Amino acid sequence: MRKRSDQDLIIREKSSDTSLMVRKLSEVPEDIQALIDGQAKEPFPFETELLRLCKKENLFEQEYYHVQKGSSKAFIIVYKMNLNIFTYGKMDLSLSTSVIGYPCSLSEPGFITNDTDLVLEFAKTLKGPVLILNTKEHRPHKDFVLGQTLPTCVFQNRFKTEDEYLCALRSHYRRRIKLAIKACSHLTVREITDDSIDVYQLYLNTYNKSDYKLEKLEKGFFDKVDATKIVFLKEDKPIGFVLLRKAEDKLIFMLCGMDYSEDTTDLYYYMLFHIIRYGIKHGCKTIDFGQTSEETKLKFGAALEKRYFYAHHSNGFINFLVKHGRYLLEYRYAFPDFCVFKDLKE
- Rounded average pLDDT over 141-165: 94
- Rounded average pLDDT over 312-329: 82
Is 90 exceeded by the pLDDT of residue 213? no
Indicate the range of 1-15, 94-108, 172-186, 309-323 predicted with least confidence. Answer: 1-15
Q: What is the pLDDT of residue 4?
A: 52
In 169-246, which ranges are continuous DSSP H helix? 171-183, 200-209, 219-224
Indicate the range of 53-62, 80-89, 213-222, 270-279 predicted with least confidence. Answer: 80-89
Question: Where residue 16 falls among pLDDT bands split at 50, 70, 90?
Answer: low
Q: What is the pLDDT of residue 15?
A: 46
- Rounded average pLDDT over 74-87: 82
Determine the Cα–Cα distance for residues 13 and 20; give it in Å rounded to an integer. Answer: 7
Q: Residue 173 in contact with residue 340, Cβ under 8 Å?
A: yes
Measured in whole angstroms, the distance separating CA 51 from the mean position of its chain's CA atoms is 13
**Helix or strand or coil: residue 188?**
strand
Determine the Cα–Cα distance for residues 25 and 76; give it in Å rounded to an integer. Answer: 10
Q: Is 334 exposed, middle or buried (0-12, 13-18, 19+ CB in 10 A)?
A: exposed
Quote the percentage of the chain above a pLDDT of 70.
Answer: 89
Q: What is the pLDDT of residue 1?
A: 44
Indicate the range of 71-80, 207-216, 291-300 predicted with least confidence. Answer: 207-216
Q: What is the pLDDT of residue 48?
A: 83
Domain residue ranges of the chain, discontinuous segments joined by +: 9-151+306-329, 153-304
Is 90 exceeded by the pLDDT of residue 170? yes
Is 90 exceeded by the pLDDT of residue 343? no
Q: What is the pLDDT of residue 322?
A: 80
Q: What is the pLDDT of residue 295?
A: 94
Q: What is the pLDDT of residue 248?
A: 87
Q: What is the pLDDT of residue 25?
A: 92
Rg (CA), the chain: 21
Q: Residue 9 forms beta bridges with which residues?
A: 24
Q: What is the mean pLDDT of the chain?
A: 88
Give the model confidence (pLDDT) of 97-138 as tens digits.
Answer: 899 998 887 888 999 898 999 999 999 999 999 999 999 989
Q: What is the pLDDT of residue 46?
A: 56
Determine the Cα–Cα distance for residues 245 and 251; give it in Å rounded to an integer. Answer: 6
What are the residues whose beta carbons fall under 8 Å from the beta carbon of 346, sequence distance 6 or more? 339
Is 80 exceeded by the pLDDT of residue 209? yes
DSSP line for 113-156: ES-HHHHHHHHTTS-SEEEEEEESS----TTSEEEE-PPEEEEE
Higher pLDDT among residues 305 and 39, named by residue: 305
Q: What is the pLDDT of residue 124?
A: 95
Question: Where residue 311 falls among pLDDT bands split at 50, 70, 90?
Answer: very high
- Rounded average pLDDT over 92-98: 78
**Residue 336 CB neighbour total at 10 angstroms:** 7
**What is the topology classification, in CATH, of domain 153-304?**
Aminopeptidase (3.40.630)
Q: Residue 25 forms beta bridges with which residues?
A: 64
Q: Residue 215 in contact with residue 81, Cβ under 8 Å?
A: yes
Q: What is the pLDDT of residue 186?
A: 97
**Helix or strand or coil: residue 337?**
coil
Q: What is the pLDDT of residue 85?
A: 67
Q: What is the DSSP-derived secondary structure letter of residue 34?
A: G
- Rounded average pLDDT over 74-78: 94
Q: Tell me if the pTM is above 0.75.
A: yes
Q: What is the DSSP-derived secondary structure letter of residue 158?
A: -
Q: Please state whether 172 falls in left (phi above 0), alpha (psi between -120 and 50) or beta.
A: alpha
